[in-house]
Amino acid sequence: MTVFLFWNINRKPLQAVVASLARRHAPDVILLTECGSAPNVTLTALNQPGCSEYSYAPGIGCRKVDVFTRFPARFIRPVLEEERLTVRHLSLPGLTDILLAVAHFPAKTHWKEASQALEATHLSRSVTRAELQVGHSRTVLVADLNMNPFEPGVAGASGLHGVMTRRIAEKRERTVQGRRFAFFYNPMWSLHGDQSPGPPGTYYYSRSEQVEFFWNMFDQVLIRPDLLEFFSNDDLRILDCDGTRSLLTQEGVPDARHASDHLPLLFTLRL
C-alpha cells in the first residue's frame, strides 16, 4: 500500500500540524501546496525522534508543490513540470509504477471561470504528454484545482474529463465532435455533501449572492482507468483532524485561523 497526503496549507507555518498528520496516518508521500516555509523547516518537523524519516524530493522547475517521501527521492523523479504542475514517475521497487501529477491551479480570485476552464485544457494536455513519455497512463492527478468537479474545466472533455462513476470511466474515452478524449474517474463527486463520511467538501466560503454552494470540492484526486484496479473509494478521505486537534471551527468549517482554509486529502493506492 502506498499512502498519499495532499494539503494546501495556505502559506501558514503548519509544519507541526503536517507532522501530526504524518504521525497519525503514516503517509508514504506528502504533497503540499502554498507552502510558506522552506522545505527544510517542514522536514525538521517531520523527522522528529521516534518518527518515520522523510526525505525532500524536489522538483526542478516547479516550486509550487513540495514533495516529501518515506523513500529516496530517486524513486519519484519529475518527468514533466510547469510552473504549477509537477508530474512524477513513482517507481518503487517491486511495485507497479505510476505517474503522480500534482497541481495547484489559479484561484477564482485571480481568474474567471472561463479562464480556468481553458487552462484546464492545457493541464490535460500536459498530463497526456507525460503519459506518452513514460509509455503508460497509470496516472493519478492530485490537485487544488480551485474548481468543483462539476465545473467545465474538470468535467469537460477538453478539460480533465473527470466523470462521477467507475463504470463510465472504465469505458476509457469518448468521442466528441470527431475527437477522442480520455476519461479520469473523479471519486470526489461521491464525497460532496451530507452523504460524505467526513466533511462535505474541502473548502468553504459564503457570499451574499444568488448562487452559493458554500462547501466546495476544490481539492481533488482524479484517477485514470488504468489505475482503478489499485484504488478503492474506501481509501480516500477528507481529513478534519490532525490526530489530536480538529482542523474545523466550532461551526464545522475549515479553521483558517489555526490551520488552513483547505482540508487535507488522504488516499491509498494498493500498488
Partner 1 sequence: MIDLWPDDIGTVVVRSPAGILREQASLLGEKTQHLVEAEVEPWMEMAPPGFFVYAFRLVAPTLGHYRYKLFTIAHDVVLYPVEFSVDSDIQAEISPSQRELGAPDEGAFLEILEKILGSQKTRRVVQALLTQAEPATDGIPF
Chain residues binding partner 1 by CB under 8 A are 60-62, 77-83, 89, 121-122, 125-126, 129-130, 133, 158, 179
With a CB cutoff of 8 Å and minimum separation 6, the contacts of 25 are 3, 5, 239, 243, 266
For residues 133 and 206, which CB has a smaller minimum distance to partner 1 in the complex? 133
Going from the C-alpha of 86 to that of each of 33, 59, 64, the distances in angstroms are 11, 7, 9
Rounded to the nearest whole angstrom, what is the least distance from the CB of residue 47 to partner 1 in the complex?
A: 24
For residues 26 and 132, which CB has a smaller minimum distance to partner 1 in the complex? 132
Dmax over CA atoms of the chain, in Å, equals: 58
Rounded to the nearest whole angstrom, what is the least distance from the CB of residue 122 to partner 1 in the complex?
A: 6
Rounded to the nearest whole angstrom, what is the least distance from the CB of residue 86 to partner 1 in the complex?
A: 10
For residues 3 and 73, which CB has a smaller minimum distance to partner 1 in the complex? 73
For residues 79 and 241, which CB has a smaller minimum distance to partner 1 in the complex? 79
Strands 98-104, 85-90: parallel, antiparallel or unpaired by DSSP? Answer: antiparallel
Rounded to the nearest whole angstrom, what is the least distance from the CB of residue 213 to partner 1 in the complex?
A: 28
For residues 50 and 135, which CB has a smaller minimum distance to partner 1 in the complex? 135
Cα separation, 122 vs 107, whole angstroms: 16
- Give strand pairing partners of 241: 246
3-state secondary structure of 172: coil
Residue 99 near residue 128 (C-beta atoms within 8 A): no
Which three cell numbers mark 74?
530517486
Rounded to the nearest whole angstrom, what is the least distance from the CB of residue 217 to partner 1 in the complex?
A: 25
Return the amino acid letter for 19. Answer: A
